[in-house]
């Protein structure tokens, strides 16, 4: 009993006994999220295509907390592989309580420059894979009486970003999908989105390279253009974004459902 007279049925900062499945965990925000989940005591299964990097990540997580960790190599663009991986994880490691949907974004460029075929792989990697994983894991979350589903998408769902038209389209679809599910899922399961801003990852470097090639700007000019939009005048650290993701994974966050939380240093101008 605390000083306000409330009983707390759980630790507000512990994920001990919870199993988290993190997609796109080989680098950047995905890797940082996996490490912080481990630090909070969760059992973490990391998923990506790069086996060697995943092995290194699992080794590092073993030193961060009391959880038991594992890895799966999976191509999120392959529907049958995603289904098989989900079933295998459930069979070998038990119910998944926390699902982090995350994957690399599509190449930059004007939307009018994209063919119809360009939409296929990114939508399979993001929306289709996320939907398949939710369908596989949600029945077990219901039985366990606890579920957290979090998408790592982009601030472009609120304010489209110039010259990444395909990504803007995809991220908007993910946000609408998640909001629709927030009205369908059992009361014990929450679903939310985290919207990273300009974050210090290899993805941002790739976008910078694309802008430089298309416009002839220098790397410094590209960076200056980005930081001029951000009140904190710096890039976001992946662990800052991961901290928000982990908060939304906690039992204490059960009252937050169907939101899109920006971690962008104040870049968004909307309320």
What is the average pLDDT value for the chain, to the nearest integer?
Answer: 92
Averaged pLDDT for residues 136-155: 97
Averaged pLDDT for residues 212-216: 77
Q: What sign has the CA pseudo-torsion 110, 101, 76, 103?
A: positive
Nearest to 20 by CA among 245, 257, 177: 245
Band (pLDDT 50/70/90 cuts) for residue 219 is: confident
CB-CB contact of 100 with 33 (8 Å): yes
Q: Per the domain annotation, does 56 fall within a domain? A: yes
Look up tokens 């993910």; give the residue: 174
CB-CB contact of 150 with 194 (8 Å): yes
Q: Per the domain annotation, does 83 fall within a domain? A: yes
Averaged pLDDT for residues 121-146: 98
Q: Per the domain annotation, does 7 fall within a domain? A: no
Confidence (pLDDT) at 29: 95
Band (pLDDT 50/70/90 cuts) for residue 209 is: confident
Question: Do 241 and 231 share a domain, yes or no?
Answer: no
Question: Do 98 and 203 share a domain, yes or no?
Answer: no
Averaged pLDDT for residues 141-151: 98
Question: Do 105 and 210 share a domain, yes or no?
Answer: no
Confidence (pLDDT) at 5: 57
Of 37-51, 164-178, 219-233, least confident by mean pLDDT is: 219-233
- What are the distances in angstroms from CA 174 to CA 53, 68, 104, 144, 216? 27, 30, 14, 26, 32
Of 53-62, 158-167, 241-250, least confident by mean pLDDT is: 158-167
Partners of 149 in beta bridges: 99, 191
Percent over 90 (pLDDT), the chain = 75
Q: Per the domain annotation, does 42 fall within a domain? A: yes
Confidence (pLDDT) at 65: 87
Averaged pLDDT for residues 245-267: 96
Phi, psi torsion values for 187, nearest 5 degrees: -60, -25
Question: Do 146 and 244 share a domain, yes or no?
Answer: yes
pLDDT at 226 over 60: yes
Confidence (pLDDT) at 11: 62
Question: Do 28 and 153 share a domain, yes or no?
Answer: yes
Question: Do 112 and 91 share a domain, yes or no?
Answer: yes
Full residue range of the structural domain in which residue 184 is found:
19-197+237-263
pLDDT per residue over 14-58, tens digit each?
899 999 999 999 999 999 999 999 999 999 999 999 999 999 999
Question: Do 210 and 251 share a domain, yes or no?
Answer: no
Crossing angle of the two packed helices 238-249 and 28-39, in degrees rounded to 10: 50
pTM given for the model: 0.91
Domain at 26, CATH number: 3.40.50.720
Question: Do 47 and 149 share a domain, yes or no?
Answer: yes
How many Å separate Cα 20 from the centre of its chain? 12
Coil, strand, or helix at residue 41?
Answer: coil
Query: Pairing state of beta strands 147-152 and 43-48?
Result: unpaired
Question: Do 82 and 211 share a domain, yes or no?
Answer: no
Question: Do 110 and 181 share a domain, yes or no?
Answer: yes
Q: Per the domain annotation, does 123 fall within a domain? A: yes
Band (pLDDT 50/70/90 cuts) for residue 8 is: low
Alpha-carbon distance of 94 to 111, in angstroms, equals 42
Confidence (pLDDT) at 163: 85
pLDDT at 4 over 60: no
Question: Do 162 and 149 share a domain, yes or no?
Answer: yes
Show the tokens assigned to 103.
């994957």
Of 26-40, 133-147, 228-242, least confident by mean pLDDT is: 228-242
């Amino acid at each position: 009993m605390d000083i306000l007279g409330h009983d707390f049925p759980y630790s507000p900062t512990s994920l001990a006994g919870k199993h988290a499945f993190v997609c796109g965990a080989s680098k950047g925000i995905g890797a940082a999220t996996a490490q912080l989940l481990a630090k909070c005591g969760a059992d973490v299964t990391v998923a990506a295509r790069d086996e060697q990097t995943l092995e290194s990540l699992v080794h590092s997580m073993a030193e961060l907390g009391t959880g038991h960790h594992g890895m799966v190599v999976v191509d999120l663009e392959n529907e049958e592989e995603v289904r098989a991986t989900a079933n295998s994880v459930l069979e070998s490691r038990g119910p998944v309580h926390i699902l982090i949907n995350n994957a690399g974004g599509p190449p930059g460029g004007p939307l009018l420059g994209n063919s119809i075929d360009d939409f296929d792989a990114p939508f399979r990697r993001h929306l289709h894979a996320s939907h398949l994983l939710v369908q596989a894991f949600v029945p077990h979350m219901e039985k366990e009486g606890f579920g957290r589903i979090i998408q790592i998408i982009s601030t472009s769902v609120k304010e489209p970003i110039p010259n990444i038209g395909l990504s803007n389209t995809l991220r908007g679809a993910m946000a609408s999908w998640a909001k629709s599910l927030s009205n369908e899922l059992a009361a014990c399961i929450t679903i939310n989105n985290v919207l990273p801003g300009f974050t210090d990852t290899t993805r941002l470097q790739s976008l910078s390279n694309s802008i430089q090639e298309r416009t002839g700007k220098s790397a410094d000019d590209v960076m200056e253009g980005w930081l001029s939009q951000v009140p904190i005048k710096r890039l976001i650290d992946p662990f800052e974004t991961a901290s928000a993701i982990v908060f939304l994974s906690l039992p204490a966050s059960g009252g937050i459902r169907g939101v899109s939380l920006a971690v962008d240093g104040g870049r968004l101008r909307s309320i």
